[in-house]
Structure 1
Amino acid sequence: MKRLFRKYHRTLAIILMLPLLLTVITGVGYSIFDAWLQQQETAEFLLKIHTMDILHLGKIYPLLNGLGLLGLLITGFTMTGLLRSQ
């Protein structure tokens, strides 16, 4: 069972690496450009990328990111062995 979860976890991690990295970078960039540098145009552009509104995926992209992270959490947690019966 652990081997199966490891396989799913590895596959999910490879698939979600780019979207999650893009979300993190644009989220941090938005905070920096909006709050620290007061660059509203750049901050708004980063927000469109952050939510994938630039590709008209603004409604589904956060849901897919969340479901992917939930899958990674579940597979990662089950691999730890904390739920094993003694």
Structure 2
Amino acid sequence: MKRAFRKYHRTLAIIISLPLAFTVFTGTAVTIVGEWGINIGLSRSLLLDIHTGEIFHLQAIYPILHGLGLMGLLVTGLSMSGLFGKKTQQTKRN
């Protein structure tokens, strides 16, 4: 079972990493450009369009895809961790 979850986790991580990287970097860049006034060569509106998925016409489902991807990573990661596995009772011997 753990082997299957590792396979799914690895595949899902590869798929979700690019959109999440875009979201993280553009969100940081929007803050840098908007709040600190640093010019990085891209307008704040273009960065926001990329950040929200509007540039790809995915603004309606972009957050849902992020959420589903992260929930999948969370489920597969926690299942591999062994935190929720069966715990064996140890008998106390004198």
Tell me the residue number matched to 2:92: none
Number of aligned residue pairs: 85
Structure 2 match to 1:10: 10
Task: Give the whole-Å Cα distance in 1 for the aligned partners of 2:9 and 2:59.
Answer: 26
RMSD (Å), alpha carbons: 1.4
For residue 35 of structure 2, what is the aligned residue in structure 1?
A: 35
Q: TM-score, normalised by structure 1?
A: 0.92
Using the alignment, how far apart are the partners of 2:44 and 2:77 within structure 1? 34
> Structure 1 regions of 5+ residues with no counterpart?
none
1:72 alignment counterpart: 73
Q: Percent same amino acid among aligned pairs?
A: 55
Scaled by the length of structure 2, the TM-score of the pair is 0.84
Deviation at 1:70, TM superposition (A): 0.7
Q: Higher Cα Rg: structure 1 or 2?
A: 2
- Which AA in structure 2 matches 1:19? P
Deviation digits for residues 26-66 of structure 1 (CA, Å, limit 9, x no counterpart)? 01001111111177x81111010001101211011111011
Give the residue type in structure 1 aligned to 2:22. Answer: L
Per the alignment, residue 22 of structure 1 pairs with 22
Where structure 2 has 5 or more consecutive residues not aligned to the other structure, the ranges are 88-94
Runs of 4+ in 1 over 3 A off after TM superposition: none
